[in-house]
Amino acid sequence: AIGPGSIPWLIVAEIFTSDSRGKASCLCVGANWTCNLIVCITYKYLDNALKPNTFFLYFGVCLFFLIFTILFVPETKRKPVEQICREIRDQSLKCPPTVF
């Protein structure tokens, strides 16, 4: 199925250094499976309440995270991990501390 489910495996391999990759993988994959569980638990209730419009809700959530990914996840093509980490660190210094 096409969807954002594979993003945790891709992002972890691209963004994190080898010393932090294990912990980051654990957090990302755990969040992925938690979201899958939420979808499985809530689908029946949402389908009863919204009938054919249920998938528009899930589509909206996927659209939100697609936009979030486009805006905030750095491009990693042909960049070493050190450069990616430096770009993330530089970007985080520009943001107010309440955001990150």
Tens-digit pLDDT profile for residues 14-30: 888 888 888 988 888 88
Question: Which of the given ranges, 4-8, 46-50, 74-78, 90-94, has the highest pLDDT on average?
Answer: 46-50
Token pair of 71 as six digits: 């805006």
pLDDT at 40: 93
8 burial type by CB count under 10 A (0-12 exposed, 13-18 middle, 19+ buried): buried
The distance between the two most distant Cα atoms of the chain, rounded to a whole number of Å, is 49
Tokens of 69: 């990914």
Structure tokens at 63: 């659209």
Percent of the chain with pLDDT over 70: 90
- Taking the CA atoms of 77, 96, 68 and 9 in sequence, report the sign of the dihedral they define: positive
Amino acid, single-letter form, for residue 5: G
CA 4 to chain centre: 7
Is the pLDDT at 95 greater than 70? The verdict is yes
Confidence (pTM):
0.67
